Amino acid sequence: MSSKTLHIANQTTTCYHCGEQCVDEILYAEDKPFCCTGCKLVYEVLNENDLCTYYEIENQPGKRQKISTSGDNRFDYLEDEDVTAKLLDFKNDELSHVTFNIPLIHCASCIWLLENLHKINPAILSGRVDFIRKNVQVKFNHQEISLREVVVLLSSIGYEPRLNLSDVEGKKGRSTVDRRLIKKLAVAGFCFGNMMLFSLPEYFSEAELLGNGFKKTFNYLNVLLSLPVFFYAATDYYKSAWLSIKGRNVNMDVPIAIGIVTLFLYSLYDIFMLHQEGYMDTLGGLLFFLLIGKLYQQKTYDTLSFDRDYKSYFPVAVTKVVKDREEVIPLGKLKVGDLIKVRHGELIPADSILISGDGYVDYSFVTGEEVPVVKGKGSLVYAGGRQKGQSLTMAVQKSPSQGYLTGLWDTDSFQKEKDHSLISLATKISGKFTFTVLLIAVLSFGYWMSQGQLSIAILSFTSVLIITCPCALAMSTPFTLGNTLRVFGQGKFYLKNAQVLEKMAEVDAIIFDKTGTLTDPNQAKVDYQGEGLSLVSKGILKALVSESTHALSNRINVWLGEVKKAKLTDIEEFFGKGLQGKYHNQLIRLGSAEFVGAYAAWPLNEGNRVYFSVEGVVLGCFYIQSGLRSGVENAMDKVKIDRYIHLLSGDQDHERFQLQKLLGTDVSMKFNQSPTDKLNYIKSINQKGFTTMMVGDGLNDAGALQESHVGVAVTDKVTNFSPASDAIIDASVLEKLADFLSFSKLSRKIIKASFMLSFAYNILGIFFAVQGLVSPVFCAILMPISSISVILFTTISTNYMAYRRGLKTKIF
């Protein structure tokens, strides 16, 4: 690879990598100019790995790094196994997952490069960027590349991770304020204040009292004060506009940048050629108020992102063992050293050491690999796995990362096909709107020029560009949806993202699971018939049902009461069939007739039947009559309006007649449905053109939840966390499902109303701007005011409507 350095005085060219100007010292590689060794190094890395298509993307990467990583010992501490173990999210025999905070992520090129790390080094399997939090999750083969080498690679391409003690201790903080924006706002404010002072005589038409010499001096001082405003405070608008045009797009910063440049150049012409006062004070005020609006927008977006983030209030909890007593506590209260119990089908909430039980851990939610991993006593088990087998007792080794666990909820493995949403609609409208604004501004300028009014032409041109910024239009959708997500969260209905909310508004078919969803274990009636149950038999049954999260097991567990559990081995649960284990080498089974071999006739009792057998001999049968949850009947009456209702159950149809009396004969019911049957049933409904919502328990119904357009997991126990679902609803608020559905439709109407409000602002502003009746400073003030009013409108509207529907206890 050819490489040379030239030192040519006063020669200027553009850096091939970052687009900045190279002055005096120019570096070359493959006959391409670079402004520094950092940019040249990045190009060489990309070129060596055939990744130069990077330069065809509309944006350029972040800040360059003037460092060389060869021989760099700054990251040697990452070779320490204790430090590495604290930084890694997950590790098995081959793979490691780690999440870095990289402050330099700022554009589409950054995302593209960091998500294509596997092309630079094949040992890196993937990179996934969280743009809002400036995080990237890297999955790599630690047998081929170490954590230190991953960090060095990231640093070499200009994206050095931020690593400090808080990362090692596992503490994540909120993002800090953009200091660059604060500095630019301070510069603009200082210059604007002094420009106003120097222009004060002009405002009161007393400039002639100063004399011509003073007047020119003040005008020249305004020009000097305008330089830092134009060349520093406004640079973000130039960069954004240039990158947008370079990518053959037009964003909302393009008209603003054109207006700033026009106002500056015309003011120079007015001051030096026409000897007038110019509009430098207007330029200073324009940038000052624009930056205030930008800071406000950034602050509100940060607040919204934090408030609507389900990680901040998601109800993941864990069963803690204290002196042989179990209690369910919030995940946030779990500490290192605590003993926890993880049952069959439950998610492991924190990196822990296995104390007792045989681990059979399914890491498919983490790695995509469906084959469970066998873990023995003393093994380290990572958070995110799901136990398949008997319950485990574990000692917490590392503080639980709720963000990592709930991040599984939004993993690529469970992404559904994206559709055209209101967010994308707003983006499209904003793009077309910007072209329209540019056209109106040009026509206005042409009209006044034809009238010989250059000053008014410049004023109207600039005012149209500034006053019609579609910021309010772009902000209305995320703020409305974000506030609605927050309202839902306060109502114990947790949605994955805003797209789920939009899809909810289109649901016209709802499929309910019965057991554990519509039925309440506390309302169930349990009747046992058969041979009498001794304390030993009750202890055996207690040990079996304690290992299961199934609703029928929970009901039997409650019926048995406080009984000392017998010691069973080889406990195993078969979904949709039952449980089995061994007691003194005798095979114990509890489940359906087919599962236990109950072929003899039993007295007909209405309800679900759960048989109990020892070594193939059926000893008795539990008759469990389901009790509907409080408010389910009224809720079903409401959701039936404009929607088709289906009920699927894995139980037998003993309760069909009773359910029809309670829920109505218009509800389509199917019984004896396996998890695969439920999935196929929903597929058939989807193929008929319906938008489906599946409401189930989140474990047995995982496939059906994923197949439906909106999958809602209902849970009594917050330990039952299912990444396969799009939403999780607390069982206590299931009766409000119809209200949540209607509110999702209402949120779309609020968004459309905010669109109309934004358009009204712009049409009114254009009416006065094309006539030259408003100044650019007034426009700069009106623009953030319009954004604030739209945000207030959407926030107040959603809060008030939620309060009216009982989804909130107070408006604010």
Distance (Å, whole) CA 323 – CA 185: 59
* Number of alpha carbons in the 13 Å side-chain half-sphere of residue 585: 0
The CATH superfamily holding the domain 497-514+629-725 is HAD superfamily/HAD-like (3.40.50.1000)
Supply the pLDDT for residue 808: 75
Topology of domain 319-399, per CATH? 2.70.150
The gap from C-alpha 116 to its chain's centroid, in whole angstroms, comes to 21
The pLDDT of 288-298, averaged and rounded, is 75
Q: How confident is the model at residue 658 (pLDDT cuts 50, 70, 90)?
A: confident
- Two tokens at 767? 């009416």
Question: Does residue 425 have a pLDDT over 80?
Answer: no
- 797 to each of 299, 402, 475, 502, 600, how far by Cα in Å? 21, 32, 15, 17, 63
* Number of alpha carbons in the 13 Å side-chain half-sphere of residue 485: 27
The pLDDT of 340-362, averaged and rounded, is 84
CATH number of 37-172: 3.30.70.100
Q: What is the DSSP string of 284-306?
A: HHHHHHHHHHHHHHHHHHHHHHH
Q: How confident is the model at residue 691 (pLDDT cuts 50, 70, 90)?
A: very high
Q: What angle do CA 252, 477, 730 make, to 5 degrees?
A: 150
Is the pTM value of this prediction over 0.85? no
CATH architecture type of domain 525-625: 3-Layer(aba) Sandwich (3.40)
Q: How confident is the model at residue 184 (pLDDT cuts 50, 70, 90)?
A: very high
Amino acid residing at 434: T
Give the SS3 label for residue 758.
Answer: helix
Burial 273-291 (b: 16+ CB within 10 A, else e): eeeebbbbbbbbbbbbbbb
Signed CA dihedral, 355, 361, 363, 365: sign only: negative
pLDDT tens profile 738-772: 999 999 989 888 888 888 887 887 788 888 888 88
Strands (E), 202-297: none
Q: How confident is the model at residue 359 (pLDDT cuts 50, 70, 90)?
A: confident
Q: Are 739 and 726 in contact (CB under 8 A)?
A: no
Burial 74-96 (b: 16+ CB within 10 A, else e): ebeebeeeebbeebbbbbbeebb
DSSP secondary structure letter of residue 418: P
Of 33-42, 416-425, 476-485, the range with the highest mean pLDDT is: 476-485
